[in-house]
Amino acid sequence: MATASGARDATSSGSAACARPATTHPQPASGARRQTLVGARVVLPTGTVPDGSITIDGTRISGATPADAHVIDVSGHWLVPGFVDIHNHGGGGASFSGTADDVHKAIHAHRRHGTTTLVASTVTDDMDLLVQQAGLLSELAEQGDLAGIHFEGPFISPCRKGAHSEELLRDPDPAEVRKLIDAARGKAKMVTLATELPGGIDSVRLLAEHGVIAAVGHTDATYEQTVEAIEAGATVATHLFNAMPTLGHRSPGPIAALLEDERVTVELINDGVHLHPAALELAFRHAGAGRVAFITDAMDAAGIGDGRYLLGPLEVEVSEGVARLVEGGAIAGSTLTMDRAFQRAVTIDRCWTRWARRSRRRWARWRPGCRSGSSCRRRSRRSPSPPRCRSRRRRPPRPRRSADPWCWGHGPGHRRRAAGGRWRGHLRRGRTRAPRSARSAGRTHPAAVPSPARTARSAAAAAAVRTGARRRRAHG
Ligand SMILES: [Zn+2]
């Protein structure tokens, strides 16, 4: 669980992230062991709590609120789970292609921005150097500093090389892929490859057999070739939209194939440079939040700033936060951190919140297998996916609007009413006027006809008014 940065000392294990700039965070009293953060919007697996509280006990989130806890008001902030970044090349001025110290430097740079689970990505390099680096990174993964290793290259397409050295690229040979997997000693998590190249599909099958994710990326594949790769076992799209053919109406390319298949998770770099917000929205609409993974694809400059850096063997110039190769000017990774990616999603692009809102509405409307009526609807508002409503059964057909003017809206009672029952909700609530739909239809509801006693009272009152008016005219 993530907290405001004010509590980061207490959560040094890295379980902290906040979607506000660090300068605005309230600071905790020094020496306080137990802290309770109150007033923030808390993101939980079951939904978002608008005014939640989190208690930190030492380095762990205990959840309960002990009486002696130091209370910190973090109203206006978000508390989110620690971020997971599955594609990251470095940060804080160091890269995952460097020494153990460099790797630690990069890990801490991203931990300061809320990333608690990090897969180290390599870039295309000489095979022997990659094998050597895999050995170093696997040691750090065994110590628990890294979640695993992602090999991005050298098995990628020269047509979509991005910021990889063209002369070091090669076709995906299953024997060489196997060499990298062995060098990583069980810590290889993902290999990005252009599956359309000779040996690509065999390599995907080999990776799937070894429990390593085959990711389609830096590819020039057609739609059909991508479908074949997915059938062979590829399950991730490396930075979807970037370094692959665009979506065409006659040649949909890999983007359509990767978006449409439920088995594929799509990576997105939400830094405002790599993707237009509309492209991001498109991916969210088609894949849904459950199949989208924000990544940073960060290089050394993340968390540092502009300047000259190295990405593998290539020189990169970072200007105004955008990293480009000195030679050729291609975009070379990003300077993004996960808190910024999240912040953009919920404040600028709003794709996540839009999806969540739509999802909540869907749950409120469709509650397959649930018969508890309005109380369930109230629960659905609090949580988009209440446990009792998680049935995988087919949705019931949406009830059609009835021609009955006394009946409007939807819900469990609607069908009963549409079947001939009379709507009496307004009588129970003390309303005497017919529903607007009925009035506009020119029909008179029985309840709209006043009782004889009421008619007599109204007539007497009207007569009194007329008498009073006559008297005033006579005197005046
Ligand atoms: Zn990358």
Active-site residue, 297 included: yes
Query: Residues 160, 194: contact at Cβ < 8 Å?
Result: yes
CA–centroid distance, 333 to ligand 1, in Å, is: 6
What's residue 158's pLDDT?
A: 94
Can you tell me the distance from the alpha carbon of 156 to that of 192, in angstroms, rounded to the nearest whole number? 8
Can you tell me the distance from the alpha carbon of 152 to that of 134, in angstroms, rounded to the nearest whole number? 12
The band of 209, judged by pLDDT with boundaries at 50, 70 and 90, is very high
Domain end point (choices 301, 316, 349): 349
| pLDDT above 80: residue 270 | yes
Q: Are residues 148 and 31 in the same domain?
A: no
What's residue 386's pLDDT?
A: 40
CA–centroid distance, 238 to ligand 1, in Å, is: 8
CA–centroid distance, 358 to ligand 1, in Å, is: 32
Output the domain CATH number for residue 18: 2.30.40
SS3 93: coil
Q: How far is CA 142 from the centre of its chain?
A: 29
CA–centroid distance, 97 to ligand 1, in Å, is: 12
Q: Are residues 40 and 164 in the same domain?
A: no
Q: Are residues 45 and 111 in the same domain?
A: no
Q: How many domains does the chain have?
A: 2
Q: Are residues 192 and 238 in the same domain?
A: yes
Q: Are residues 72 and 111 in the same domain?
A: no
Mean per-residue pLDDT over the chain, rounded: 77
The band of 313, judged by pLDDT with boundaries at 50, 70 and 90, is confident
Q: Are residues 97 and 75 in the same domain?
A: no
What's residue 352's pLDDT?
A: 53
Domain end point (choices 79, 105, 132): 79
Rounded to two decimals, the pTM is 0.66
CA–centroid distance, 87 to ligand 1, in Å, is: 6
**Catalytic-role residue among 85, 102, 261, 297:** 297
Q: Which percentage of the chain shows pLDDT scores above 90?
A: 44
Domain end point (choices 18, 45, 79): 79
Peptide bond preceding 384 in cis form (omega within 30 of 0):
no
Report, as an integer, the average pLDDT of 151-165: 92
CA–centroid distance, 121 to ligand 1, in Å, is: 7
Query: Residues 62, 3: contact at Cβ < 8 Å?
Result: no
302/58: higher pLDDT: 302
What's residue 38's pLDDT?
A: 84
For 272, the domain range is 83-349
What's residue 23's pLDDT?
A: 37
CA–centroid distance, 79 to ligand 1, in Å, is: 28
Query: For 48-86, what is each residue's pLDDT tens digit?
Result: 888 888 888 887 887 755 556 678 888 888 888 899 999
| pLDDT above 90: residue 228 | yes
CA–centroid distance, 346 to ligand 1, in Å, is: 24
SS3 349: helix
The band of 359, judged by pLDDT with boundaries at 50, 70 and 90, is low
Q: Which residue has the tokens 């502009």?
A: 306
| pLDDT above 80: residue 159 | yes
CA–centroid distance, 229 to ligand 1, in Å, is: 20
Output the domain CATH number for residue 252: 3.20.20.140
Which chain residues have CB less than 5 Å from ligand 1, an ion? 152, 297
